[in-house]
Amino acid sequence: MADLIYYSGTMDSGKSTLALQVDHNHRARGRRGRVFTSRDRAGEGIVSSRLGLSVAAIEVDPDFDFWGYVVHELTHAERIDYIVADEAQFYTTHQIDTLAKIADELDIDVFCFGILTDFRTCLFEGSARLVELADRMLTLQVETLCWCGERATHNARTENGEMVTEGEVIVVGDIEDPDRAAPQVGYEVLCRRHHRRRMTAAVAQASALSPDVLPFAD
């Protein structure tokens, strides 16, 4: 029987690298699959890793119909033995339900990869449903580190170097106020302690350089 498997981790933990490796391993054994992604950093229709590897993929937007796509392929003499679904945290609940249905009713293995929680420490919609439905959920073994050297467990969003905990889950830029320059939006992984304190690497460095925190300051 086919499985629905979810590989999760923080940013920089090698999720997309593993997705590419899983696809390669199955193809090397003569299996035929499809690779999907959503909002990859490299652009639409690409799965890319920070190691410089990439493959073409099918872009998943909120209206994408997995069942319709797979059934169409199968009824047109195409073969699908497995599905690799990267950036699965961005998928809708319905899309995750459909991937489970594909595994159960069409006997196609589904391998999902994604981030568990957003910058607010809340579960992404797709990740929440995968936690509920997956046959297996595996945490990636490549540990990411906070700037302090401790294990990173949380994803943080920064604007102009300052951590933010409110706003849209997906940010493409500040277009609401034409008189305000668009903030420099970035992401960083932190341990729970420094996420709670909103202490990013930039904030920590600025604090260390501040005379207010030096014991010998006047």
Q: Please check whether residues 67 and 10 belong to one and the same domain.
A: yes
* CATH code assigned at 15: 3.40.50.300
User: Could you give the number of structural domains in the chain?
Assistant: 2
Q: Is residue 217 part of a domain?
A: no
Same domain, 73 and 8: yes
Structure tokens at 110: 């589904």
Give the domain extent around 10: 4-139
Task: Give the whole-angstrom CA distance, residue 21 versus residue 126.
Answer: 22
In degrees, rounded to 5, the angle at the alpha carbon of residue 12 between the alpha carbons of residues 199 and 81 is: 145
On whether the CB atoms of residues 91 and 85 are closer than 8 A, the answer is yes
pLDDT by residue, tens only, the chain of 218 residues? 899 999 998 777 788 899 999 999 999 999 999 999 998 877 788 888 877 778 899 999 999 999 999 999 999 999 999 999 999 999 999 999 999 999 999 999 999 999 998 888 899 999 999 999 999 999 886 678 888 988 888 888 888 778 887 766 655 433 344 455 555 778 888 888 888 888 888 888 887 755 454 444 44
Half-sphere exposure of 209 (CA within 13 A, CB side): 6
Q: Which residues are catalytic?
A: 87
